[in-house]
Amino acid sequence: MSGLHGLATHALRLADPEDAHGLAITGLKLGLGPRRPAHDPVLATTLAGLALPNAVGLAPGFDKNAEVGDAMLAAGFGWVECGTVTPLPQAGNPRPRLFRLTEDRAVINRMGFNNQGLEAFAGRLAARRRRGVLGANIGANKDAADRIADYVTGLKRLWGLCDYFTLNISSPNTPGLRALQTRAALDELLGRVGEARRALAAEGANTPVFLKVAPDLEDGEAEAITEAAIAHGLDAIIVSNTTLARPDSLRSARRGEAGGLSGAPLMAPSTRVLATFHQAAAGRIALVGVGGIASGADAYAKIRAGAAAVQLYSALVFEGPGLVADIRRDLAARLKADGFRTLAEAVGAR
């Protein structure tokens, strides 16, 4: 990363994590973010019909309110996912709720879907100039009487304003949300979302819909989720969200905080879960690899485990947005060194 952005990242690491994030968003809105190098053609790919100039994406959580999606595309991400957004604004859980585990290169968060709501989110998407692929990660309000209805509301309100949707049913910080991953609940959710999607698509172009899952799954759940996603016509599964597990290897004094763990300790377990989904999918649905990516080697491991594209976020807490250029450069070099002409050729090539 450049010296200026490296200094800024170091300064932000000294601040409270949530305050630092707010300052980073402000800086990006002021145009102070890094600028991408030219895209290497070997990293270009197609995900669920979406043409990505490079497969390295920004995971949701960084830009909850769709404020800096274009700035992060300009920083070098091939695609950006904003959110999670809920129909009504909500404050989320009490602070402190975001913790750096510096010794572990990890983060624990219990944010609780804090966001400004659909109307603010939709207004910002409507005002942008559509310079790149931007997705909307949609969720349910904590106190919603019908959580599935919240997903349908999000789909309808943002239809035509984003390039794809992600149904987030895997955050550990909204009580009971992960229960939507059970087959019966998932069938109801995907059935109702699918009905709304078909009605919206009948009036014009269709929009891909993805499903984001947790890494904390029991035996057989990956297979059941995969079959449900395929049966209901989803376009991709994102593997995975944060974990409730606390590996014995954690050293930070903050390791006992409640919430979802992300960052380096999630890399190996989430990649194993990704490989399970890859085996279950057998090429019938695209997969996105998320969890612990902090280098080109990490991104390459996800792709070889079955990911058609990848996303990252937590590593930016420690390295800043300039990290994406380093990951792209390293990933491209690894693909070429192994004789792959395109990234797609490497998917699942473990």
How do residues 103-123 score in pLDDT, each as one tens digit? 999 999 999 999 999 999 999
Beta strands across the sheet bearing 106-109: 98-101, 106-109, 260-263
Of 171, 240, 270, 295, the active-site residue reads: 171
The pLDDT value recorded for residue 11 is 53
Instruction: Please tell me the predicted confidence (pLDDT) of residue 1.
Output: 43
Residue 350: per-residue pLDDT: 77
Q: What is the CA radius of gyration of the chain?
A: 19
The pLDDT, as a whole number, for residue 28 is 95
Is 270 considered catalytic here?
A: no
Side chain identity at 83, as an amino acid letter? G
Q: Which pLDDT does position 60 carry in this prediction?
A: 98
Q: Are 8 and 324 in contact (CB under 8 A)?
A: no
C-alpha–C-alpha distance, residues 78 and 309, integer Å: 10
Regions of the chain with pLDDT less than 50: 1-4, 7
d(CA 260, CA 111): 9
Q: What is the dihedral of CA 155, 156, 160, 163, to 10 degrees?
A: 0
Helix (H) or strand (E) holding 28: helix 17-29
Contact by Cβ (8 Å): 259, 241: no
Question: Is domain 3-346 classified as CATH 3.20.20.70?
Answer: yes
What is the reported pTM? 0.96
Residue 325 contacts residue 316 (beta carbons within 8 Å): no
pLDDT at 139: 98
